[in-house]
Structure 1
Amino acid sequence: MGTDSRERMVRSAAYLFRERGYSGTAFRDVIAHSGAPRGSIYHHFPGGKVELAEEAVRYAAEFLNAGIQAAAEGGDPAATVDAFVGWWRQVLVKSEFRAGCPVVAVTVESHDDAPQLTKAAAAAFDRWEDTLATCLGNAGVPDDRCGRLARMIVAAVEGATILCRAHRDVRPLDDVVTELKAMTAAAITG
């Protein structure tokens, strides 16, 4: 039972959490989606569903962060916002508005008996904020605004994603992007 099946299960869990949520995703769903051998899930995740969810949140955080970092290398905060939002837009449209953020799904369904899930979700959001803040700082946003503006970007995009799912339309996300780009440009010149 190699790490390939483990990685497939983690990716599948993140994918399924996007559409079904944490509570709506069972081990059998992850096994079926990933094509992994049935017994391997217990081998790779002896801590159960909580351990799998923790890994899925980390995977989702790193996956999206890699896209943000790649866009940030150009030094253009508008392009970085586009990269962050572009992935969500693609997920929404491809899933016909059934899928959202797996990190949000785990966050809103975390229970007191699994504080490590809340901690993993917070770390994911922090990672995105740190990467965005670094990009903003490199583009000339004053240090005292970088963190707040980065948090605003993450919060606005996550909220807009939820609105898009409710309305089955990408306009809320497009509107948020327009405003975020204006705010970012004003922060650089201001």
Structure 2
Amino acid sequence: MAWHGHGHGHGMAIRSNINTSETVMRKAIWASFFHLSAKENNEHALCPKGEAKPSWCWVKRAEAKEEEPAPHSEKQLYLAKLPQEKLDLIKSVYRDLTNPDLLHRCLKGRTQNPNESLYAKVWRKVSKDKFAGLHRTILLTQATALEHNFGHRDSSFLCYLGFPNSPHLLAALRRKDLKTKRRSTSSAKKRKTKKVGKKQHK
């Protein structure tokens, strides 16, 4: 439960600071750590003040309204009650997560592992919830890798097995490739639009 809370905070810190800078993203990640392990109000110094929009930190929201923040004992602060030695271990993980090289790769908001989308395609063909034999798993994994790298039309098993390339078959495979391309293009446009919008608001 403790790491789930921090994992959520870490992910939110990255997603909320795409296309900013390593310094801004690092500060946001450490803010999630100190927020969830705080025992006093002054330990929320890195939490956003909520100048542009309301802060997710209840202490900063209260300070913005010039009110007294709710006691920490009333909040689910996953690490606040851990002994210091355990807290130091988790802090060392955060140091690794805020490594400059790692943060640089996170700034574009892309997946850290380029194979993750491939894995998702494999699991759609070979369900994690149902048993599949080794040979079936290998076959479908290889087929999925071909589709992922070359597209549905150029990786068609039927074509490689010598079946005639009927116009209907080629049209169906072409439609699948176009659908995949539109989906990836749409995602790229959304990221670009979001980036332009942020620049215009600055």
TM-score by length of 2: 0.33
Higher helix content, 1 or 2? 1
Higher relative contact order (CA 8 A, sep 6+): 1
